[in-house]
Amino acid sequence: MRTNLILVCTLLALSGCSPDPEQSPGAADTASDSEDMANLEIARLYAAPDLDGPSPRGVKISPDSTRVTFMRGKETDPLQMDLWEYNLADGEMRLLVDSTVLVPGDEALSEEELARRERLRIVGQRGIVSYQFSPDGERLLFPLNGDLFLYDLGSRETRQLTDTDAGETDPKFSSTGRYVSFIRNQDLFAIDLDSFDERRLTRDGGGLIRNGMAEFIAQEEMDRYTGYWWAPDDSAAAFIRVDESPVHVAERFEIHAEDFKVYEQRYPATGTPNAQVRLGVVAPDGTDLRWMDIGEDTDIYLPRVDWFPDSRFLAVQRQSRDQQTLDLLKVHARSGESRVLLTETSDTWINLHNELAFLESSPQFIWSSERNGHAHLYLYDNDGRLLRPLTAGDWDVVDGARARSALLHIDEAGDRVFVTGTLDSPMERNVYELSLSGDAGPSRISKEAGWHMADFADSGEFYVDSFNNAATPPQLGLHRADGTRIGFIEANRLDASHPYHPYKASRPSLGFGTLEAEDGQALYYRMLKPAGFDAGKRYPVIVYVYGGPMGQNVTNEWSAGFNEILARNGFIVFTIDNRGTGFRGTAFDAPLYHRLGEVEVRDQMVGVNYLKSLDFVDPARIGIWGWSYGGYMTLMSLFTQPGVFAAGVSGAPVTDWTLYDTHYTERYLGTPQGNPEGYEASAVFPYAKDLAAPLLLIHGMADDNVLFTNSTKLMKALQDGGRPFDVMTYPGSKHGLTRVPATGEHVFAHILRFFQQHLQ
């Protein structure tokens, strides 16, 4: 491989490359300070071009290290995604596939695909929203409009692989690249790319049986979006068979503008039966089906499945229903026999992870565990014997996005492991190098403070870094393995050509700090102040809250969203990460166990009391708003702290935890049968009678995540108690309605008007 030559060519030819490789593009231009300040409107958040500038998504380095590919929205429509490449040999950026050429009109997506996108938090995006390289790096596979397409990088031709009304989902290349697999009508299929013959690998899918598919709670709560995995040698595919027959049938209403739909949904509400899962292995021609022994207890979860490198064994993670035990099983793929390699236990709950990686030259693997209070890496042999810890200390090995692994690259020959973590600050994600032998601790290689998401070339000689911080819009840089930046693939300079440039001079100021929780732990906060801030004035404040488990909000990241709009309209916007919001270790999370909405509110009050101590804050004009768990926190704060907040906005809140699903709710509260007091105390209804401030309640009327019933129950309780409140509902909209331009713009405009009315 001519990797070094490629890097030299890239250094000379990379578009947008700065003469000083360490110069931050976010700080490139300061001339705008003398310009008139433009007013950033809500509509501009959804308009083209994207306010953040060109922001590549789904960045991948080809297996042959010749190109970097990514998805990017059109300049005229940021939500219409196309497939692009940056060619490392010639330094050219080019469009590979224009999604609107392949499908000129509106896409026709199945309900399954729409639900899958909702789970992936990409609702509203259109076109090419996912893709995969073939193992040889010569072809790209992607779904579009319910069918599958194969793009040849050599000929630059696109071949349509399927043309059906059923809709294919979760397409993959097999491990060697001989097959393309996918799900259709709840069964697993494969296409032999030598003959293009299509084969059906499972045959009983349909109705309550789903083969090779991630069940609802796996997608929504376990960050597992697939239900099948190819063996490294393509000799077989492992798959999960989901039987939903034990799951209770619930009627779910989706209310649209002109009609309504009633769904008889198998929804695993907390304390009720889950779907039954089995793990099978099948040959690529659909024969030789075998079932694996995953234990006698069927009331379990299978959050992760992998193959050992020899294709003879499966590595299966089995989680107990109470989520206090996680076993790593070694399962013989032919006999189905299994044994436990290692077991993790907790007195509260175990957070799932994606850090399992097998070494190539040694029969060993790397595994993540929070057994000592923080997420760290450990080296085991393939029989489950612990060899040594690889990281330790008061920090976490964790990535910056859902479903990604913090274990970036293993260089066995060079005795190096590259990871993402929080060693320098829990508000950041930096890239670190450490030794596989344990001889050297972590050494930071990412240079700029902020949020780094790195993707290493298979050779390990270079990586692509998707980086941003509070002052720098998202940029895509190319780096040597020691962290030295060679240049930018997408510099995204905040200069006169940048979409945000007209608003730069009037940008609110941002500050960070820490406060102390009652147990002495640090609570990180951030504060947005309006441009032209005058410390001699008293300002209204809006507390923006999420507050839920793994819901970190206070980060050193670029943001040009609705909270900035609030600050531009004269509000200080304050956010504090209470205990439980994750990525700070088990002691930071554990106080939430078996009671929600209590510790979180107390920590939010630490922030409010700090605000009240500031001379420039008007303590009589403090509001609060949040979405989802943040909507729940808004309600609990208003109800349990009467007189503190002058107004609140609650979006899509959970109000009754018995209405939420098994895996999420039982992780923190246990079951309603085992912890009835905790469920009652964690609901909003015991406290609703104490509402004394103006409340705006917002919910999508087709929400299949936090069911609309949560809000209708609250409406009735407030009405019965004679408590006035405002409400705004959205017919046909689901949980992510703020990501959709039409509804999102209306939501934010209504929230702004509400706070202007009650706080200004």
pLDDT digits (tens, 9 = 90+) for 90-144: 989 999 999 999 998 888 877 778 777 777 777 778 999 999 999 999 999 999 9
The predicted pLDDT at position 255 comes to 83
In contact, 664 and 274? CB cutoff 8 Å: no
- Please check the confidence at residue 4 and state whether its pLDDT lies above 50: no
Classify residue 522: in a domain, yes or no: yes
Domain total of the chain: 2
**In sequence order, which residues have a C-beta less than 8 Å from that of residue 700 and are 6 or more positions away?**
652, 708, 729, 730, 732, 733, 734, 735, 737, 743
521 pLDDT more than 70 = yes
Return d(Cα 147, Cα 133) in angstroms, integer.
17
- Could you tell me which residue, 451 or 21, shows the higher pLDDT? 451
- Rounded mean pLDDT, 149-160: 96
Q: How far is CA 182 from CA 174, 201, 440, in A?
A: 10, 10, 43
> What confidence score (pLDDT) does residue 114 get?
76
Per the domain annotation, does 547 fall within a domain? yes
Sign of CA pseudo-dihedral 6, 7, 12, 14:
positive
In tens, the pLDDT along 659-692 reads 999 999 999 999 999 999 999 999 999 999 999 9
- Asked whether residue 29 is assigned to any structural domain, the reply reads no
Q: CB atoms < 10 A from the CB of 207, how many? A: 10
CA distances from 178 to 284, 286, 310, 593 (A): 10, 15, 18, 48
How does pLDDT run across 727-737, given as a tens digit for each residue? Answer: 999 999 999 99
The residue-averaged pLDDT of 444-450 equals: 97
Nearest to 227, CA basis, from 210, 205, 209, 244:
210
* Residue position matching structure tokens 């500031």: 614
Per-residue CA distances from 546 to 260, 633, 646, 666 (Å): 31, 7, 19, 19
Unique residue bearing structure tokens 């000592």: 372
What percentage of the chain carries pLDDT values higher than 90? Answer: 86
- Given a cut of 70, whether residue 26 has pLDDT beyond it is no
- For the beta carbon of residue 569, count every other beta carbon within 10 angstroms: 16
In a domain, 282, yes or no: yes
Alpha helix stretches (DSSP H) within 156-238:
216-221
Residues forming the active site: 628, 703, 735
Whether the pLDDT of residue 54 is over 50: the answer is yes
pLDDT at 452: 97
pLDDT of 5: 34
Mean pLDDT of 468-477: 97
Q: What is the DSSP string of 49-72?
A: SPTT-S--EEEEE-TTSSEEEEEE
> What's the confidence (pLDDT) of residue 105?
80
Per-residue pLDDT at 760 exceeds 80: yes
> DSSP state, 5?
H
Considering the domain boundaries, does residue 428 fall inside one? Answer: no
What pLDDT does 30 receive? 36
CATH number of the domain at 588, please. Answer: 3.40.50.1820
Instruction: Indicate the helix (H) or strand (E) that contains 399.
Output: none
Of 350, 375, 396, the residue that ends a domain is 350
- Which range marks the domain in which residue 295 is found? 201-350
Contact yes or no for 16/493 (Cβ under 8 A) = yes
What is the pLDDT, as a whole number, of residue 24?
38
Q: Domain boundary at 301, 316, 350, which?
A: 350
CATH number at residue 211: 2.140.10.30
Instruction: Count Cβ neighbours within 10 Å for each residue of 346-369 and write b for 16 or more, e otherwise.
Output: bebbbbbbbbbbbbeeeebbbbbb
Query: What pLDDT sits at residue 22?
Result: 35
Output 511 or 124, whichever has higher pLDDT: 511
Of the three residues 300, 332, 350, the one that is the final residue of a domain is: 350
What per-residue string of b and e applies to 244-281 under the rule 16 or more CB within 10 Å gives b? beebeebebebbeeeeeeeeeebbbbbbbebbbbebbb
Name the token pair of 285: 């021609």
> What pLDDT band is residue 36 in, cutting at 50, 70 and 90?
very low
* Position 37 confidence tier, pLDDT thresholds 50, 70, 90: low
* Mean pLDDT, rounded, of the chain: 93
Q: What is the dihedral of CA 320, 322, 325, 327, to 10 degrees?
A: 20
Positive or negative, the CA dihedral 673, 677, 682, 684 is positive
SS3 for 232-252 is CCCCCEEEEEEECCCCCEEEE
User: Is there a domain that residue 701 lies in?
Assistant: yes
481 domain-assigned: no
Q: Is 623 within the bounds of a domain?
A: yes
The candidate with the shortest Cα–Cα distance to 608, out of 542, 667, 654, is: 542
pLDDT tens digits for range 526-567: 999 999 999 999 999 999 999 999 999 999 999 999 999 999
Average pLDDT over residues 412-427: 97
